[in-house]
């Protein structure tokens, strides 16, 4: 099996190194000092489960890789529209695109029975540009529950969690999902094939939709947001509205708001990925996390006044951060 990791950042390099341990032929597509370090010394993973090293092949040119069986997308969702030229050299007729992203994916309504089947989510796929770059029939969803960070070029710190749930948009137990999942498990990760991955998407989104924009607007950590009475109440309101939108699409996450808050408090003084992006002057990836949910609320008539206010403030922040 041949796997390319496009976007070999903290999660991408961790997955690639793990698959390499399983004997998979892995290609990390990276750049700069990170690429150079991987070429020279491989990927070094520091983990409470035990440190390890892997030596996947690494390049900045997908043409050097050629067609593979699976492409693991470690890119931010707002990079997908420009990914077409990087993805094209990696494809044969059965290549899958395994999208490890936060928020509502571009494939959300693909093969989803009901009145919205085949509809495009404009917030994440404006004018169909993402679907053109990443064809829907190749998409496999992925929800990441592992936490990692790059501590130095070629070096990954694994903080917690080893589960990356995957699933087909139509909920089938496919051979292509099982093939990839088996390799992930052989590499030391958990990779359940979920019959309803959209439920996992909404469970993770409950936390992301509140903590990510609030942290960027206030510069606060997750624990800090939970400790402050006003922002804690704001998180609860945002989560309630998010659950109402999910219910309108017949998705009912069985995780309580209090449990999600308790989990966030346990994470401690952690900066969300959105706050880290803000501090680095990078795009905030809130279209998929927040704007898409506001769009879905509009489709179903679910009132989300709190989400709309925070979305407007986050949009203004994004414009200032990127010079928009």
Q: What is the DSSP string of 266-315?
A: HH-S---HHHHHHHTT----HIIIIIHHHHHHHHHT---HHHHHHHHHHH
CA 124 – CA 88 distance, rounded (Å) = 20
Contact indicator for 192, 180 with CB cutoff of 8 Å: no
Question: Which residue, chain included where needed, has tokens 């209090």?
Answer: 258
Return the ∠ at Cα 190 (arms to 105 and 110), rounded to 5°.
25
Q: What is the DSSP string of 200-223?
A: HHHHHHHHHHHHHHHHHHH---HH
Contact indicator for 300, 249 with CB cutoff of 8 Å: yes
Annotated active-site residue in 76, 204, 271, 282? 204
Is residue 233 packed enough to be buried (19+ CB in 10 Å), middle (13-18) or exposed (0-12)? exposed
Q: Which residues pair with 97 in a beta bridge?
A: 71, 139
Sheet of strand 155-160, all strands in order from the earlier edge strand to the far edge: 52-54, 43-46, 155-160, 147-152
Per DSSP, helices labelled H in the chain are 10-21, 32-41, 84-87, 129-133, 175-186, 197-218, 222-227, 229-248, 257-267, 273-279, 286, 292-300, 305-322
Contact indicator for 78, 51 with CB cutoff of 8 Å: no
Examine the residue annotation and report whether 204 is marked as an active-site residue of this protein: yes
DSSP conformation class of 104: S
Active site residues: 204
């Amino acid at each position: 099996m041949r796997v390319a990791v496009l976007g070999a950042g903290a999660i991408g390099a961790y997955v690639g190194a793990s698959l390499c341990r399983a004997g998979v032929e892995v290609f990390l597509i990276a750049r700069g000092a990170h690429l150079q370090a991987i070429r020279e010394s491989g990927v070094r993973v520091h983990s409470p489960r035990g440190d390890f090293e892997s030596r996947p092949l690494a390049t900045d040119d997908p043409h050097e890789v050629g067609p593979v069986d699976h492409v693991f997308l470690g890119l931010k969702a707002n990079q997908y529209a420009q990914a077409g030229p990087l993805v094209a050299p990696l494809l044969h007729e059965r290549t899958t695109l395994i999208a490890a992203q936060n928020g509502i994916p571009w494939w959300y309504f693909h093969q989803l029975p009901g009145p919205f089947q085949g509809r495009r989510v404009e917030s994440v796929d404006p004018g169909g540009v993402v679907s053109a770059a990443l064809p829907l029939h190749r998409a496999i969803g992925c929800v990441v529950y592992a936490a990692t960070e790059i501590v130095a070029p070629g070096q990954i710190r694994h903080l917690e969690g080893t589960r990356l749930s995957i699933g087909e948009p139509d909920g089938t137990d496919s051979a292509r999902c099982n093939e990839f999942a088996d390799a992930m498990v052989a590499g030391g990760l958990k990779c359940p094939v979920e019959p309803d991955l959209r439920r996992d998407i909404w469970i993770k989104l409950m936390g992301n939709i509140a903590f990510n924009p609030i942290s960027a607007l206030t510069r606060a950590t997750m624990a800090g947001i939970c400790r402050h009475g006003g922002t804690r109440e704001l998180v609860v309101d945002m989560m309630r509205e998010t659950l109402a939108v999910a219910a309108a699409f017949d998705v009912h996450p069985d995780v309580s708001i209090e449990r999600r808050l308790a989990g966030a408090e346990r994470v401690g003084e952690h900066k969300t990925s959105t706050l880290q992006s803000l501090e680095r002057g990078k795009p905030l990836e809130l279209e998929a996390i927040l704007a898409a949910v506001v769009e879905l609320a509009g489709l179903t008539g679910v009132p989300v006044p709190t989400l709309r206010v925070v979305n407007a403030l986050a949009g203004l922040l994004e414009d200032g951060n990127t010079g928009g």
